[in-house]
Chains A and B, each alone.
Chain A
Amino acid sequence: MSALIEAHGLAKAYGGVHAVRGVSLAVSPGEIVALIGPNGAGKTTCFNMLNGQIRPDAGTIRLDGRDIAGWPPREVSRLGVGRTFQITATFASMSVIENVQMVLLSHAGRLGCLWGLATRAERAPAEALLTLVGMLDEAGRPSAELAYGDLKRLELAMALANDPGLLLMDEPTAGMSPRDRVELMALTAGIAREKHLGVLFTEHDMDVVFRHADRILVLSRGELIAEGRPDEVRRNPKVQAVYLGEGLAYRDGRAR
């Protein structure tokens, strides 16, 4: 099966710091891929390059048969990429459902229209999306009032609204309670499988990662050090070293 998005040799340096060095990855339709690594490994930089927020110094990103490296996020989104952020970004002055309607209107190319009531447009599909994430009851509430977990759900609905083939989710469960995390990720995974979406997400919660990811990419100091199915990655000595430390003292049993 051909990949939805395929990155080759991505690199980005900030001054002398090589945040990302030669990272290549691919996500296929229907596949849930986790990008993990310790803090500062370059996950968010990687992510922002895929999404267009950061222009890579080198490398190509093929999406839909085009090299989109350096494209602005708005162009990337038009190719069917949904995005959620580490810290939620929604339209605070609008109601919950209006947030979703905005994405639908944008996807339909109707945001330039100077007449007609925006709040009545795309109502039914917006309601369907809110139902999907379990937020229909909150449709009329100002989004600024929502609890954080609900904001994350709203973001998921917004990310799904432009009918994406690919979801990019940067720490989708950051800042949520453990129970909400499990729920939200199960919801996301369920939707992704049902709609046959490709999902790439970063995450610190290993429970979430190992339960839902089909494949895991491990970044350390800007480089991919491992890739594979969860059980393969779990057994990988390099990964263990990165996560548990390379205590030479322990390796030979000399610590005792």
Chain B
Amino acid sequence: MQLFVVQLLSGLASAASLFLVASGLSLIFGVTRIVNFAHGAFFMLGAYLAFTLTERFSGPLGFWGSMALAAVLVGLLGALFEMLLLRRIYRAPELFQLLATFGATLVVEDVVLLIWGPEELLGPRAPGLAGAVEVIGKRVPSYDVFLILLGPLVLALLWLILHRTRWGVLVRAATQDRDMVAALGVNQKWLFTGVFALGTFLAGLGGALQAPREAADHTMDLRIIIEIFVVVVIGGLGSIEGAFVAAILVSVLNAFGILIVPKISLVLVFLLMAIVLVIRPTGLFGRREGAARMSGAVVINVWKPLDLDGFVIALALVAAAALAPLALGPYGLAVATEIAIFVLFAASLHLLVSVGGLASFGHAAFLGLGSYGAALAMKLAGSPMLPALVAGPLLAAFGAAVIGWFVVRLSGVYAAMLTLAFAQILWSIAFQWTPVTGGDNGLLGIWPPPWAASASHFYWLTLALVVLAVAGLRMIIFSPFGYALRAARDSDLRSEAIGIDRRRVQWRAFVIAGAGAGLAGALFAFLKGSVFPGAMSVSTSIDGLVMVLLGGVETVSGPIVGAVVYKLLSIWLVSHTDYSKLVLGLVIIGLVLLFPKGIAGSILLPRLRRVATAREKAAT
């Protein structure tokens, strides 16, 4: 009983900070429709700023003043971020906004590392709240009690702001229909900036309040952002009350999960999210999103299969790639192999994201399933490499069939979040099911047989399989099925009216894309000789999205260009600078601002089209 109460209180205390951050994200999404990936970064900045400020200013006034100042500073940074970056991309496709905020996250991570260094930093205890309170015979930190009380207080304050002030009414109106609010003469720019400042202020406050409780480190942003996503999705995007209830649910479940079922504690929260989404597709308190009045960028570029010239160029590129072993050493070939693998990964994601219009935040799940499938086939069944290269994609396709069945029942951001949840569930399983997966130590010794062991042989094998698979994906894009997938994306109403079963078509796309990513994963396992849970991590999924978006969503060949550029860039940066994330983040932000249609879409495509029209003119 005592233990029960203590765990409950500790869970509730964590909920306060989680609620602050999540309510900020929810507010921002409600009004601007931007899923702010950088929210975790603002949370982290709050924690670090609070640490530095509380070190400098002591005493009760200094401590609480520092907390408030840290949050205000983060809010100001948020406003600046909104004005300089987001304002330019509100009309861009939502994935682009996500990409930009992801770039900002990378930048902040390295800036934090630059300023505060890699050590974990624990802030000073709150003056007056350093002790503990006795609750039925157990000592509970007073600071925790303070946090437990703070949660409802902030909820009440937010409610008052949103319901009792003119500004709050505008915010709520914009949440329902921002175009209407703009039509009524409200200056949207400042409303958006204000909401963003408030949202990031809340994130900063959440981080600051966490500083005396948990050590700050430079990876806390990714941990918290995933937790916030889960909270916001369970509660319902745009709902503050929902964020409050969900924060408590998630924190308490976390606290008890570790106690009761430590083996699957990490899975529990995501399982909760998956269950909530399947039963209530818009979260506990969420409402169905109003249809956006202005549809996104209309694709005017009609996709065409390769003509003879295109085919010759593609063949020449493949031939050139096949000659790489003549020019590259073992390290260069390993890099080239990895790039080829990620070309396939990006191409399979492209089928879902660009062709199917299904934003997936969890594509790494299929890469990971492919890796583990191949590795386990070898470890458990003693299978040689080739059957293992089949087992991997099979497992991934099976996983995609299960995950896809749920995901196609949701739409928009919720569907994307469900993919994230499933990927995290699989990651947790890989991480915690040590007897089978090796846990954090991974599975080692997954080497190719002698005939494929040399760098050049394995490279050729990979290249051949990747070229076949990518060609297959391309064939599917132009096949009747690929058109049906695009039709379901273009117009649900019309595709249904002509007899297309959208869910079934999208589900099949999931299976195909899963198998593709699975093959990439299986090859990846043999390239590295090992498999780790990290293959399934969110950052791998995001990498895939960045590749697709960099290449250009509206193109067919975009993911190939994007994967090559992104992989080369990140590998080069890692070996040339200690602050690769900083540079990469800035590059991503720059690309989003300069080339909203991606590299292939902005640079290559218009050029090709110009050549084609010039040739047509010459012919007539």
Contacts and interface: CB of A to CB of B under 8 A. Distances in A.
Whether A and B are associated in the same complex: the answer reads yes
B499 A119 contact: no
Contacts of A111: 480-481, 483-484, 500, 505
Given A111-B484, A113-B479, A72 B496 contact: yes
A73 B497 contact: yes
B120 interface: no
Contacts of B512: 114
A102 interface: yes
B217 to A, nearest CB: 45
B493 A85 contact: yes
Contacts of B495: 91
B305 A119 contact: yes
B478 A93 contact: no
Contact of A89 (B305, B491, B499): B491
B483 A73 contact: no
B414 to A, nearest CB: 22
Q: Is the interface of B mostly helix, strand, loop or mixed?
A: helix
B475 interface: yes
B299 A93 contact: yes
Interface string B483-516: 1101101110111111111000100100010000
B619 interface: no
B303 interface: yes
B300 A142 contact: yes
Nearest to A85: B493
Nearest to A141: B302
A233 interface: no
A107 to B, nearest CB: 7
A94 B298 contact: no
Nearest to A168: B497
B480 A121 contact: yes
Contacts of B501: 74
Contacts of B498: 74, 77, 102-103, 106-107, 158, 161-162
A98 interface: yes
Contact of A92 (B299, B475, B478): B299
Interface size class of A (residues with CB under 8 A): 35 or more
Contacts of B483: 94, 98, 101-102, 105, 111, 118-119
A202 interface: no
A161 B494 CA distance: 13
Interface in A192-221: none
B499 A162 contact: yes
A115 B475 CA distance: 6
A55 interface: no
B298 A144 contact: yes
B302 A95 contact: yes
B500 A106 contact: yes
A205 B537 CA distance: 59
B92 interface: no
A91 B491 contact: yes
A247 interface: no
Given A102-B498, A162-B498, A110 B493 contact: no
A89 B494 contact: yes
B482 interface: yes
10 contacts: A85-B493, A91-B490, A91-B494, A102-B484, A106-B499, A114-B479, A114-B512, A115-B476, A118-B480, A142-B302
Nearest 4 A/B pairs, CB to CB: A89-B494, A91-B490, A111-B484, A118-B483
Interface of A: 51, 72-75, 77-78, 83, 85, 89-95, 98, 101-103, 105-107, 110-119, 121, 142, 144-145, 158, 161-162
Given A106-B498, A116-B479, A118-B482, 7 more contacts: A83-B497, A90-B491, A106-B484, A110-B480, A112-B480, A117-B479, A119-B304
